[in-house]
Amino acid sequence: MNISDIFQGVPPMYNVLLKQPDLGKRDISSVVFCLSAATKMPENLILQVEEKLKWRYAEAWGLTEVSCVGTTAPYTETRIGSCGKGMDDAQIKVIDEQGNTLGPGQQGELCVKGTCVTLGYLNNPEATKAAFDPEGWFHSGDIAYIDEDGYAYIVDRKKDMINVGGEKVFPSEVEDMMLEHPKIKDLVIVGIPDELKGEAPKAFIQLREGEVATEEEIKEFCKGRMAPYKVPAAVEFVDEIPRSASGKALRRLLRDKEWAKNRN
């Protein structure tokens, strides 16, 4: 029998693993360290992994353009919610919309530079120019902040941000809070058209097996946990949340369908 001391997966895999009915009967004591990537791991899920599985958790961040991994942290130096520091061959910083470098705790676009970063896109100078600044920094499209010790924290994808009457709503923040609802198994938040505010959040929800819930119940749950403009304006219950092979929610697919309805 092969024994592993490291487990690597994406957030949906950990979610499924924790819900296995025979989990307590399986010997997983050989695993001491686990790693997650591809998409941000909800904080409550991290705590469950460490409490129920007794695994030390760490998160990594990266893109194809940065040779897959740009930041991570040794499992003895992890911080909940952080994807670690820049790798030995990577520098990271956060900038505002004008390109100015931001200080600790300030949210902006995460940029990376180093030998791990690609030189550009093959035969596509326009895409290369759009993604890299003159100093060679790659603009990731991820909103993040860096703390005083250099640990990075991913907030969300820049293009996924919802503009509700001038207020910024990051889907992952709302999703993390809503996942605390005992009936919700999985969900995704997207921006939909709103005549008054331009955009509004909509929740696509997959309930746990055997559970029943109403839109009013979900909205009432949200009202006590988030600002009013973050509460989903609409709720749709689905059999399953569409995800890519790497576990990322196909947010753009759902969003495009909603905006197509509005055009029709």
Can you give the pLDDT at residue 1? 46
Q: Give which of 252, 218, 256, 222 is closest to 235, Cα–Cα.
A: 218
Q: In the chain, count H helices and then E strands.
A: 6, 14
Which single residue is written with the structure tokens 């129920």? Answer: 52
Can you give the pLDDT at residue 152? 96
Q: CATH number of 161-263: 3.30.300.30, 1.20.1250.20, 3.40.640.10, 3.60.15.10?
A: 3.30.300.30
Dump strand ranges (E) for 60-195.
71-72, 85-86, 91-95, 108-113, 138-146, 152-157, 162-164, 167-169, 184-194
Cα 117 to Cα 87, 125, 216: the distances in Å are 11, 16, 47
Helix (H) or strand (E) holding 260: helix 251-263
Can you give the pLDDT at residue 148? 96
Domain map (residue ranges) of the chain = 161-263
Q: Give which of 85, 33, 94 is closest to 61, Cα–Cα.
A: 85
Which single residue is written with the structure tokens 């309805």? Answer: 261
Can you give the pLDDT at residue 2? 62
Average pLDDT, 10 consecutive residues per value, the chain (264 residues)? 79 86 86 86 89 91 89 84 91 95 97 95 94 95 95 91 92 93 95 92 96 97 95 97 86 92 73
pTM assigned to the model: 0.77
Burial class (CB in 10 A: 0-12, 13-18, 19+), 149: exposed
Q: Are the beta carbons of 153 and 123 closer than 8 angstroms?
A: no
